[in-house]
Amino acid sequence: MKTILLSLMLALTISGCATADDSQMPLFQTYTKYTALVDKDNVLTIADRYFSPSLLGEDYKNNPGASSQLLFHKLMAEKVNHRELVTGQHGCLSINGYDEGKEPLTFSLAYMQLDDAWLIAQIHVVFLENESDFPDVATCPDAYSLDPV
């Protein structure tokens, strides 16, 4: 009986540790859920679960280009790695990978936490010349802004 109890306690401890490790990357978890659940048939009806009100705007459901823009993740055929940084109620997620033509690209996403949910607030897609240009740290979309000359 002691062996069974000890085994059960050990299994619960290991399970708790695995859960804690997974929760250390809430932005990538949210992004992965979005890519798994959102498609062209439902993107407009569930967009508010994954995108901030400021990104969506008031009339996105009537915008003919909204669906394709909100399905930006379809541009990436293969994910290589990702980097994530969360500070308070804001965060940045960079996802490196390749498009259908095996060309390197990076998604740079800014997230905000609203009502205990992480929502994409900004999207920047960067088409790269070489995979050596993949960022090795989480990069927010603002980092790609051009300064006026």
Helices (H), the chain: 2-22, 26-37, 43-46, 53-56, 66-70
What pLDDT does 2 receive? 40
What pLDDT does 145 receive? 72
pTM of the model: 0.80
Look at residue 103 and give its three-state secondary structure.
Answer: coil
Burial tier of 51 (Cβ tally within 10 Å: 0-12, 13-18, 19+): buried
Look at residue 139 and give its three-state secondary structure.
Answer: coil
Q: What is the pLDDT of residues 56-71, one digit of tens each?
A: 999 999 999 999 999 9
Low-confidence ranges of the chain (pLDDT < 70): 1-24, 146-149
What pLDDT does 149 receive? 52
Structure tokens at 82: 């990702």
What pLDDT does 148 receive? 55
Neighbours of 27 (CB within 10 A): 24
